[in-house]
Structure 1
Amino acid sequence: MVQTGRTAPALIRARALIMAGHPIAVTGISALTGALAAQAAPHGFGPVLTAPAMLAGQLSVGWSNDASGAPRDAAAGRTDKPIATGAISARAVWIAAFAALLAALAMSLAIGVATAIVLAVIVGANWTYNLVLKSTPADGLILVPAFGLIPAYAASTLPGHPAPTWYATAGAALLGVGGHFATVLPDLTADRVTGVKGMAQQITARWGITAARGVVLVLVLSPSVLLLLASSRPWFALGGLAAAIPLAVIATRGRGKVPLWAVIGVGAVDTVIFAVGGCSLT
């Protein structure tokens, strides 16, 4: 099919918008969240709307991240950032971010007030990271509720909104912060150019890249260890830990998007352990 002069730019802008939303991370987080919700509440609005609401919320996070960081990305010459390359305007991405935020809140509210509140805190913590704490040593701390509340979000779809188990909450927080550290490592050079001084950058500057990789390894593997301790099927959970170890190593050494894919892989392994290994969400 021959593309018209108007169609081609529209497709380019659509692709740019998708890429500005951090599609790999967004899809991975939403899929894992949906799997938790489906395991917790196999009937009703939970499994139907939980993942789409999280997807919209995470898209708003990704778009606000790229829109707010566009000046830094341009200064660092980031060719993987659509706004920095001029493929799409920051204004268009901001509009998409706020539209996705409203959609996320509307869908979560359709599930229930408790679900909407938890999602608002998760997304709010991520937006706080984007707009306020991204270049500070506190950037890793705000990601604790941003990821640690994901099990609570899934559990909120259950009658009575029970609290999630401590190991589900701790595991989600540790994996989320570890994933953040892992994705920072390939960008350290660009971060030095633009003056980004987050927790991972500070650790690397003070103790070296080996120390930062060690932190990533510990954080990313800790959830698998917690599940091993909590599982009623320890041999199954031990196999999951064995599968997570090489992925965690790749997360410390990979370039580009490889660390992100590796951390998502660990998250998928942990989700399987959680669902089949005799662990409990609540």
Structure 2
Amino acid sequence: MTTLAVLLAVAMEATPATVALTAIAAFTGQLSVGWSNDLIDRDRDRIAGRTDKPLATGVLRPETVRVAIALALAATAVASLSLGLRAGLLHLGLVSLGWAYNGWLKKTVGSFLPYAVCFGCLPIVVSLAAGEGMSPAWMPVAGALLGVGAHLINAVPDLADDERTGVQGLPHRLGARRSLDLATALMLAGSAATVLGPDRRIDVADGLTLALVVGLAIAGRLGRGPAAFRAALAIALVDVVALLVRT
């Protein structure tokens, strides 16, 4: 998310100061969301045997993480509001939505909503910060499709552990295969929105992009296990690159 925000800011010809503030706001906001997720889920991670989680293994104390989160949130607030009132408040709202996902939404059928809103609104935050006003409508649409697809893909490897500890979000209700199928379809739709959204003629590069994502989608659907997962990840990468190129 931080890299995407910075690349969007550069593509929108934001000033160096705005690019730097965008990076700080996005990075510290993501830190707060990630750290809060580990803090909230430390008991679940312990049950699941997550040895890669320092809070679950006891290497880190919860108090230490709480202090780190407070500092990250303070930096997020300062950097966000330095981007302008509208951009800053919108970004802080997105960070709050990330916290809502950690605390509640990820256990519900609406687990996809924070990803749709956050990925969809990120181009708007950057556009407002860069002084460009609202971003073109196709950008939030493409971002939302990519975000929901990313949510489904990201959840698949941990479905069993999550279900064992009481998490029943949208991917868990769909199951691994249907989640990957839906994620692939959303990535294809995101690619179409990215290519067809701008008001211009489709060129050779656009045709190649669509052909590539369609080929990846077919390969993923015909493949099994890791093949489907990797194909969906590859489509996500193509979508991100296409989104930046079209900005």
TM-score, normalised with respect to structure 2: 0.86
Q: 1:52 to 1:269 in 2, by over 3 A?
A: farther
Count of residues in correspondence between the two structures: 241
Task: Report if aligned partners of 1:183, 1:260 keep a CA contact under 8 Å in 2.
Answer: no
Specify the alignment match of 1:185 in structure 2.
156
Quote the RMSD (CA, aligned, Å).
2.6
User: Aligned residue for 2:183?
Assistant: 216
- 1:63 & 1:91 partners in 2: Cα distance? 12
For residues 209-265 of structure 1, what are the alpha-carbon distances to aligned partners after superposition, in whole Å with 9 as ceiling and x for unaligned?
322221111122321111121243432123233444576649x9449xx969974x6
Q: What amino acid sits opposite 1:115 in the alignment? A: A
Task: Return the alpha-carbon distance in structure 1 between the equivalents of residues 72 and 60 of structure 2.
Answer: 17
Asked whether the equivalents of residues 70 and 90 of structure 1 are also in contact (C-alpha less than 8 Å), the reply is no
Kindly provide the amino acid, as one letter, of the partner of residue 223 in structure 1: G
- Cα distance in 2 between the residues matched to 1:125 and 1:176: 14
- The runs of 5 or more residues in structure 1 that have no matched partner are 1-28
Deviates most, 115-124 or 235-244:
235-244
2:152 aligned partner, one-letter code: F
Amino acid in the other structure paired with 1:69: D
Counterparts of residues 63-212 of structure 1 (less than 5 Å): 63-159=35-131, 162-204=133-175, 209-212=176-179
The corresponding residue for 1:39 is 11
Query: Displacement, 1:82?
Result: 2.0
Aligned position for 2:32: 60
Judging changes above 3 Å, is the alpha-carbon distance between structure 1 residues 163 and 195 closer, same or farther for their aligned structure 2 residues?
Answer: same
Q: Which runs of 5+ in 2 are unaligned?
A: none
Shift in CA distance, 237/71, structure 1 to aligned 2, threshold 3 Å: same
Decide which moves more: 240-249 or 142-151. 240-249
How far apart, in 2, do the equivalents of 1:154 and 1:260 lie? 29
1-structure distance, mates of 2:244, 2:213: 16
Deviations 1:109-140 (A, max 9, x none): 22211221111111011000011212121211
Letter in 2 for 1:59: L
Kept in 2: contact 1:36–1:271 (CA 8 A): no
Please state how far the C-alpha of 1:74 moved relative to its aligned partner. 0.9
Q: Kindly tell me: are residues 271 and 199 of structure 1, through their superposed partners in 2, closer, same or farther at Cα, counting changes over 3 Å? A: closer
Aligned partner (choices 227, 234, 237) of residue 194 of structure 2: 227
Give the deviation of 1:50 after TM superposition. 0.8
Q: Find out whether 1:237 has 2:206 as its counterpart.
A: yes
Q: For residues 59 and 231 of structure 2, what CA distance do their matches in structure 1 show?
A: 25
> Are 2:245 and 1:273 aligned?
no
Deviations 1:134-155 (Å, cap 9, x if unpaired)?
2121211233222211011111
Secondary structure of 1:162's counterpart equals: coil
